């Protein structure tokens, strides 16, 4: 129980999701996410992830 409490309070809680849908010519990918703790770091992480996905999917 103590270990579970330490994990719950020390780790950041992140939630991310992705939606992929076809639009006739290809696919559209939408991503989203939220964080309960350390939101500035999550914003940086999410922006980097979004840029990387955008670059990877254009190739």
CA pair distance 28, 54, nearest whole angstrom: 11
Residue 8 pLDDT level (bands cut at 50, 70, 90): confident
| pTM for the whole structure | 0.66
Locate the domains of the chain by residue range. Answer: 2-58
Give per-residue pLDDT as tens, 14-55.
889 999 998 888 888 899 999 888 889 889 999 999 999 989
Q: Is 33 exposed, middle or buried (0-12, 13-18, 19+ CB in 10 A)?
A: middle
CA pair distance 9, 49, nearest whole angstrom: 25
* Residue 27, strand partner residues: 22
């Amino acid at each position: 129980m103590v270990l579970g409490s330490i994990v719950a309070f020390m780790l950041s809680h992140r939630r991310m999701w992705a939606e992929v849908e076809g639009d006739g010519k290809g696919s559209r990918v939408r991503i989203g996410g939220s964080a309960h703790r350390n939101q500035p770091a999550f914003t940086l992480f999410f922006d980097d992830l979004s840029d990387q996905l955008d670059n990877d999917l254009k190739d």
